Structure 1
Amino acid sequence: MFRNKFIKLLTAATFAVVGIGTVNTISSTSTVQASAFHYLRKDHKLVTLGLGENLPVRNYTHGELVQKDDPKDENTYCDTISPLRTRGWKYINGIKYYNIPSQKHLGTTSAYIAAKYFTKKYNDMSYLTVYRVNSKIKALSDDMDNTDDGMWYGKGDIILVNNFSLWNHDKYVDTISPMQDGKHNADGWFTPQEANFGGELTHEDFKNHCSKASANTKFLLNHGEDWYTNSSLARGGMYHKGHFYKVYSR
């Protein structure tokens, strides 16, 4: 089954945006040793870091810690659709953090994400590649049994391939597509839920019916507002509303 959670989060009909609810103060008060704040720009303007997935957020209310950045608690994860921007950083208990204003919960005054997540280690999109379908092919369902009730990929359809299924020589090649029953996404047709469909291809069918797309061929998401290209994936990111952003994911 397709392993890229970020794709599925971006293409859901609705988004679970962290920061809508209020936060209850944690029961045990932690001793916080924070350094001076360091601005990235002399004019103190925001600097864009990129898009994030599963990055834990640390929240404060007037200096009091109300939410720990627990990587095991998905309730602390950042919003996956809003670009993460910062004015600067500081050390908290010896760990470097970026201040991310957009990730504040209601009732909190500051939010921080550890700087270690905005490094190459968490910015690898090499496991995805955009492909073009050269002739009509039936994909097996993306379920545990790979049943034969999957969708048709039509000639010219643009699909996204999970390279892990190729590198690991899995039984099937994992793919995902924003169109249904041979409808080409260039026609602007999307599923009613604005979601993506996963499909499994045999290695023989994949080799015979698909080829790597050109560098700037778009794999469209969200009614065409967002997209991947092989060029953007090579740079570690995607286009969101016409702007390129690096993607940082745990």
Structure 2
Amino acid sequence: MFKNKFIKLLTVATFAIVGIGTVNAMSHASTVQASTFHYLRRDHKLVTLGFGQKLPIVFYDHGKRVYANDDPKNEENFTDEAIGSAFLLKTHGWKYINGQKYYKLYNYAYNWSCYIAAKYFTKKYNDLSYEQIYTVTKAFSPRNGDMQASKTNLMLHPGAAIEVDMYSKDDDIVSIGSPIDDNKHGLTGFVEDGSYHSSAWLKITQSQFRNNCRKAAPHTKFVFDDDGDYETNASLARGGIYHKGHFYKVYTR
């Protein structure tokens, strides 16, 4: 999903509380030049920005720029790809830091002030047009999501909703997000082991896609986890998904 960087909307199994594990300041940390803080609401209540997918976080410790694990490239310096209440980005407001506008994240990491550049919460980073929901019209067996697209014992049934990576829709092998693996949403063949159910990345041939799938109606639900979170072609056109019945925008680089 998404510009060759498939978002983990479909694979998260647990929603851990966001935090930094091993935290150390870089030895060459610089001092921040910040403006006055501006609240977004007069009553100073929190505003939910939405979900961020691998957006860079700027950490400050008492005015000094710091990085998780002493490494600017460490994954903890970026927002998580998972979908869940713990991963919603919330803010009271913003300030300019070194001439650039940043939102201050609420309750994100222990002991540090956490910021994300406001530029990431614009339409440029909120385009989900490269995925679409399709409906299966005839039963067929999808392939594994591995490099070899090896065959499976799974079966997609008529009426099942799948998510199609539109960057691959004209390729010989098309990447899809499957219905969740509970044998109840139009995909059968999984061994039930009592674990959390979620969607998975699978592949189908161009012939299977062309002959057995059609674009879904605007409000056809593609459910991607046990919590009932879903997306539709209408929600994707608006740049977001539904989590616990509420619409949230998704921002990604």
The answer, yes or no, to whether TM exceeds 0.5 is yes
Cα deviation, residue 72, structure 1? 4.0
Cα deviation, residue 180, structure 1? 4.8
CA distance in 2, matches of 1:88, 1:125: 26
Structure 1 pair 53–218 and aligned structure 2 pair: CA distance change class (3 A): same
Cα deviation, residue 73, structure 1? 3.4
In the alignment, is residue 128 of structure 1 matched against residue 154 of structure 2?
no
Partner of 1:159: 162
Cα deviation, residue 31, structure 1? 2.7
CA distance in 2, matches of 1:45, 1:193: 34
1:63-78 alignment to 2 at 5 Å? 63-67=63-67, 72-78=73-79
Partner of 1:214: 217
CA distance in 2, matches of 1:190, 1:47: 42
In the alignment, is residue 86 of structure 1 matched against residue 87 of structure 2?
no
Partner of 1:106: 110
Partner of 1:118: 121
Q: Alignment length, in residue pairs?
A: 243
Structure 1 pair 179–221 and aligned structure 2 pair: CA distance change class (3 A): closer
CA distance in 2, matches of 1:43, 1:139: 52
CA distance in 1, matches of 2:107, 2:53: 14
Q: Secondary structure at the match of 1:164?
A: coil
CA RMSD of aligned residues (A): 2.8
Q: Secondary structure at the match of 1:124?
A: coil
Cα deviation, residue 135, structure 1? 1.4
Cα deviation, residue 175, structure 1? 1.2
Match for 1:201: what amino acid?
Answer: I
CA distance in 2, matches of 1:173, 1:16: 32
Is the Cα contact below 8 Å between 1:86 and 1:98 reproduced in 2? yes
Partner of 1:27: 27
1:4-83 alignment to 2 at 5 Å? 5-6=6-7, 8-15=8-15, 18-67=18-67, 72-79=73-80, 80-81=82-83, 82-83=87-88
Match for 2:129: what amino acid?
Answer: S
What 5-or-longer segments of structure 1 have no aligned partner? Answer: none
1:163-242 alignment to 2 at 5 Å? 163-166=166-169, 169-180=170-181, 183-184=184-185, 192-242=195-245
Is the Cα contact below 8 Å between 2:220 and 2:233 reproduced in 1? yes
Is the Cα contact below 8 Å between 1:100 and 1:113 reproduced in 2? yes
CA distance in 2, matches of 1:207, 1:158: 15
Structure 1 pair 67–179 and aligned structure 2 pair: CA distance change class (3 A): closer
CA distance in 1, matches of 2:191, 2:144: 19
Which sits farther off after the overlay, 177-186 or 71-80?
A: 177-186
Relative to the length of structure 2, the TM-score reads 0.85
In the TM superposition, what whole-angstrom CA distance separates every residue of 1:204-236 from its partner, at most 9, and x where no partner exists? 221221111111111112214311111100000
Cα deviation, residue 178, structure 1? 2.5
Is the Cα contact below 8 Å between 2:134 and 2:215 reproduced in 1? yes
CA distance in 2, matches of 1:49, 1:107: 22
Match for 1:67: what amino acid?
Answer: Y
Is the Cα contact below 8 Å between 1:9 and 1:15 reproduced in 2? no
Is the Cα contact below 8 Å between 1:152 and 1:182 reproduced in 2? no
Relative to the length of structure 1, the TM-score reads 0.86
